[in-house]
Homo-oligomer: A and B are copies of this chain.
Amino acid sequence: MQRYGDYYRGRRVMITGGLGFIGSNLARRLADLGAQVLLVDSMIPDYGGNLHNIAGYEERLRVNLSDVRNVNSLRHLVQDQEIIFNLAGQVSHIDSMNDPRTDLEINCRSQLDILEACRQHNVAVRIVYAGTRQIYGRPHYLPVDEAHPVRPVDVNGVNKRAGEMYHLLYCDVYGIRSTVLRLTNTYGPRMLMRHNRQGFLPWFVRQAIEGQTIRLFGSGEQRRDMNEVSDVVEAFLLVGAVEETIGQVYNLGHPQAISLLEIVEILMELCPGSDYRLVPFPEEKRRIDIGDYWGDYRKLREAVGWEPAVSPREGLERMVRYYQEHGHHYWEVTPPPDLEDRARGDVTVGQRSLDR
């Protein structure tokens, strides 16, 4: 892969949600590739932003703490960027049902605001937007391709679908060169671990590491595809560099769909002393559960040659190792004070100034 070669060297790249799980992994990789990276993150306590995610990269990444709901800061931040990886989002499905308006503000209205800011101040920018397979709802067939009917089972799915439609619209009408990636379950280092409202997987990993009993809803036989975050980062980088992907929507996916029970069994092996038990589906989760899901990612493979490189076992092992070492930065709500001090009160973290 790596068909992008030197594409990112010296480029001005902005990542919304840049201190979050996928955003920070992408940021670190972009820094390694020589890009000039600006991270924008709201640091909303319950979301994925975590200053430890850029540990060791503080001098090579610029950070601007701001919420995408703040239109005024957005208007400035988008200027002069060559590429925006637009990853900021409310990602908890349960939270979107309990507080649908906040989900709408972040996943729907702010996306429109970002695009409007680009239309007015940086129409030449390239955008790759992080969509989600959640928009499909319960699969009518498997694997799910991009033409599958869209029938979200939660408010998050509706708003994320609106978010991607805005990107495609601003591409069609104003020529803002956008691409949408519909992510499936992404996992790996730097994922939020403080609560269990952002998907089952991080919570399983945390419980396994802590030697707790994992509660598996239903029979545990639901199968899912999972992408280790380095594969997802690779997809963003490939797509951002290939002009033919503009105006298109692509599924991610993994050739090896795996049951929740199998995932748990791997975790039991990796973390001796942990165990699990099957429990009935809680009502609020059952209502928005989609059963089996795996995506057809052939369109993306054909467009940019993307193929997941990390198997579930390999990825889970990598994730467990990361949190065994760094878990204390993720179990707690408060980021390490030294890092937090550097970010507070100034647009810039790290040595580089905004106009460098």
A residues neighboring B (CB under 8 Å): 97, 100-101, 104, 108-109, 112-113, 116, 147, 149-155, 157-159, 161-162, 165-166, 168-169, 172-173, 287-288
Contacts and interface: CB of A to CB of B under 8 A. Distances in A.
Contacts of A161: 161-162, 165
- The complex is assembled from copies of this chain, and their number is 2
B166 A153 contact: no
Contacts of A151: 165, 168, 172
Contacts of A100: 112, 116
Contacts of A157: 165, 169
Contact of A158 (B97, B166, B288): B166
10 contacts: A100-B112, A101-B109, A108-B109, A150-B165, A151-B168, A151-B172, A153-B173, A154-B173, A158-B169, A162-B162
Given A149-B147, A162-B161, A104 B97 contact: no
B154 A169 contact: yes
A165 B149 contact: no
Given A101-B109, A112-B100, A162 B153 contact: no
Contact of A165 (B112, B152, B173, B287): B152
A169 B152 contact: yes
Contacts of A162: 108, 158-159, 161-162, 165
A161 B108 CA distance: 12
Given A158-B165, A169-B152, A173-B288, A112 B104 contact: yes
